[in-house]
Amino acid sequence: MRMGELSVCKRIDKVGVSPTMKVAGEAKAMKARGEDVIDLSVGEPDFPTPQNIKDAAKRAIDEEHTKYTINAGTVELRKAIQQSLKRDYDLNYSLDEIIVSNGAKQSVYNTIMATVHVDDEVIIPAPYWVSYPQMVTLAHGTPVIVETTEETGFKLTPKQLSDAITPYTRAMILCNPSNPTGSAYTKEELEEIAEIMSKHHIFVIADEIYDKLVYDDFKFTSFPSLGEDTKRRTILINGVSKAYAMTGWRIGYTAAQKNVIDGINKLQSHSTSHASSISQQAAIEAFIGPQNAVTEMRNEFTKRRDFLHSELNKIEGISCLKPNGAFYLFPNVSKLFHHKSKVYKIENSFDFAMHLLKETKTAVVPGSAFGAEGYLRVSYANSMENLGRAVERFKKAVEMLS
Ligand SMILES: Cc1ncc(COP(=O)(O)O)c(C=O)c1O
């Protein structure tokens, strides 16, 4: 490289561009041209933020909550998080064991940056949320991807976990319920994981952003609630984005031992500082205000999941598990590979996603983006009407293949 030449550093060069970008970019361009695209690629609830939360934000502005706050988040907000963790999971965290960040994504990023040493191995079960491996790479750690299968409901087995552990393993990222599969671990499954982590002195980054979105009679278990030893080795991530339809408000949090929170606090103090003061006030209402909006959203998501799951399974060549959580289905479309449309040969999930988009104006995310070729991530955070229309489009896209 010539001196003075403007270029990005190696650290950034190593980070991949999201493979979802091409489909998403195309979908955006089609929408901009006024085409009737049904977007099932989105990772956010389609519901409005509940009125009581919006009102709290308006009050926050009128009451001058418009200045810098403490870097870790206001005492009131951390108290609200503390109370919600006690109410929901009987978890006890002190205020200096909680830090609020600008969305759970920043919580995960800061956690990884503050805890992963150079060359530490971090186990990430696949299918994974796209940002985890990239964040570990940015921290100069080594992502160790362990592929789960449909047979285990895309959940990591104790044997797979034990086999992946080496003397360099430092942590595992456990996304429960999972983005992209919607799978949720039972208490017994989590206990098996916790036991292995304890035996090998490995810590767990438990991303529980979808904790409130579980369906039927599935009972969600928060990882640190398994016991004191597990709590000590868990860095818990959560936030308001998914459960309270607040993706744009950018409030997430990390709860862990004080030394970890202190490290994250330092990092955050030299980058973004605290999250928006107005959003923080709104989040207090989300965490400890009335919770009925969550129940209503959950009921609606249940109906949509049941409908889409049953309809997709009726289409020849597509098969789909019924997950317990989040708002995604992860259908297997590999039987449709090696077929041809008029224009494309479908070789992989990206090809199928492009075919579906170009021919039927329906956007989904190819499984390859999540480290799982052969699948699609289909979000049901959309109206029943649109889901019905999308099913017809899926049928048409499959019929077009020979
Ligand atoms: C698994 C998972 N973790 C974290 C996040 C980030 O959430 P936020 O919007 O609060 O940054 C998302 C959002 O898509 C997610 O799916």
Residue-wise pLDDT tens digits, 353-400: 999 999 999 999 999 999 999 999 999 999 999 999 999 999 999 999
Test site for ligand 1: of 131, 183, 209, most ligand atoms within 8 A of the Cβ: 209
Q: d(Cα 280, Cα 77) in Å, to the nearest integer? A: 6
104: CA distance to ligand 1 center in Å? 5
Q: What is the mean pLDDT of the chain?
A: 96
Atom of ligand 1 nearest to the CA of 241: 10
**Given a cut of 60, is residue 1 above it in pLDDT?**
no
Say how many Å lie between the CA of residue 304 and the centre of ligand 1: 21
Distance 344 CA to ligand 1 centre (A): 33
Predicted pLDDT of residue 208? 98
How many angstroms separate the Cα of 51 from the Cα of each of 48, 81, 282, 291, 323?
Answer: 8, 20, 10, 12, 29
Min mean pLDDT across 25-29, 99-103, 129-133, 256-260 is at 25-29
Distances in Å between the Cα of 79 and the Cα atoms of 83, 168, 176, 251, 359 are 6, 37, 24, 15, 51
Which residue matches tokens 């491996």? 133
Among 49, 107, 110, 129, residue to substitute to test ligand 1 (most atoms within 8 Å of Cβ): 129
Query: In this structure, which residue's CA is closest to atom 6 in ligand 1?
Result: 105
Distance set, CA 44 to CA 132, 188, 242, 293, 383 (Å): 18, 29, 6, 15, 13
Q: Is the pLDDT of residue 17 over 80?
A: no
Tell me the per-residue pLDDT of 168-221, one tens digit each, with 9 for 90 and over: 999 999 999 999 999 999 999 999 999 999 999 999 999 999 999 999 999 999
Strand partners, 376: 366
How confident is the model at residue 269, as a pLDDT?
Answer: 98
Q: Is the pLDDT of residue 3 over 70?
A: no
- Mean pLDDT value across residues 235-255: 98
Q: How many CB atoms lie within 10 A of CB 71?
A: 18
How sure is the predictor about 20, in pLDDT bands with cuts at 50, 70 and 90? Answer: low
What is the average pLDDT across 158-163? Answer: 98
In this structure, the residue with its CA closest to atom 12 of ligand 1 is: 105
Q: What is the pairing mode between strands 376-379 and 328-329?
A: antiparallel
CA of 45 to the centre of ligand 1 (A): 12
Could you tell me if 130 and 294 are in contact, meaning their C-beta atoms sit under 8 angstroms apart? no
- Give me the pLDDT at residue 380, please: 98
Supply the pLDDT for residue 19: 63
Asked whether the beta carbons of 235 and 264 are under 8 A apart, the reply is no
**For residue 10, what pLDDT is reported?**
87
Q: Which of 173, 146, 130, 154 is nearest to 330 (CA)?
A: 154
Residue in the structure block whose two tokens are 């796209």:
130
Dihedral sign, Cα of residue 291, residue 292, residue 295, residue 296? negative
Using the mean position of ligand 1's atoms as its centre, give its distance from the Cα of residue 295 in Å: 20
Tell me what pLDDT residue 344 has. 74
Atom of ligand 1 nearest to the CA of 108: 4
Phi, psi of 199 (to 5 degrees): -60, -40
CA-251 nearest atom, ligand 1: 10
What is the rounded CA–CA span in Å between residue 146 and residue 142? 13
Q: Which atom of ligand 1 is nearest to the CA of 105?
A: 11
Query: What is the mean pLDDT of the segment spanning 31-43?
Result: 94
Ligand 1 centroid from CA 163, angstroms: 28
* Angle (CA) 31 34 36, round 5°: 70
Q: 139 CA to middle of ligand 1, Å?
A: 19
Identify the band that residue 5 occupies on the pLDDT scale cut at 50, 70 and 90.
confident
What CA–CA distances, in Å, run from 99 to 25, 137, 319? 34, 23, 41
Is residue 367 a contact partner of residue 376, using CB atoms and an 8 Å limit? yes
381 CA from centroid of ligand 1 (Å): 15
Cis preceding linkage at 50, omega within 30:
no
Cβ(44)–Cβ(247) below 8 Å: yes
Ligand 1 pocket by C-beta < 6 Å: which residues? 43, 103-105, 108, 129, 175, 179, 207, 209, 239, 241, 247, 252
Atom of ligand 1 at shortest range from CA of 43: 14
Q: Read off the tokens for 17.
A: 């561009």
Please tell me the predicted confidence (pLDDT) of residue 21.
72
**306: phi then psi, degrees, rounded to nearest 5:** -60, -45
pLDDT band at 303 (very low <50, low <70, confident <90, very high): very high
Instruction: In whole angstroms, give the CA distance from residue 146 to residue 28.
Output: 32
CA nearest to 89, candidates 314, 375, 287? 287
Instruction: Write the pLDDT tens digit of every residue in 111-128.
Output: 999 999 999 999 999 999
Q: How confident is the model at residue 45 (pLDDT cuts 50, 70, 90)?
A: very high
- What is the best residue among 109, 111, 134, 179 to mutate for testing ligand 1's pocket, by most ligand atoms within 8 Å of CB? 179
What confidence score (pLDDT) does residue 324 get?
97
Q: What is the DSSP letter of 102?
A: S
Tell me the average pLDDT across 10-22.
79
**Banded model confidence at residue 108, pLDDT cuts 50, 70, 90:** very high
Q: 41: CA distance to ligand 1 center in Å?
A: 14
| Residue having the nearest C-alpha atom to atom 16 of ligand 1 | 179
Atom 14 of ligand 1: nearest residue by CA position: 43
Cα 209 to averaged position of ligand 1 atoms, centre (Å): 6
This prediction has a pTM of 0.97
Return d(Cα 301, Cα 336) in angstroms, integer.
28
C-alpha 129 – ligand 1 centre gap (Å):
8
Structural element, H or E, at residue 104? helix 104-115
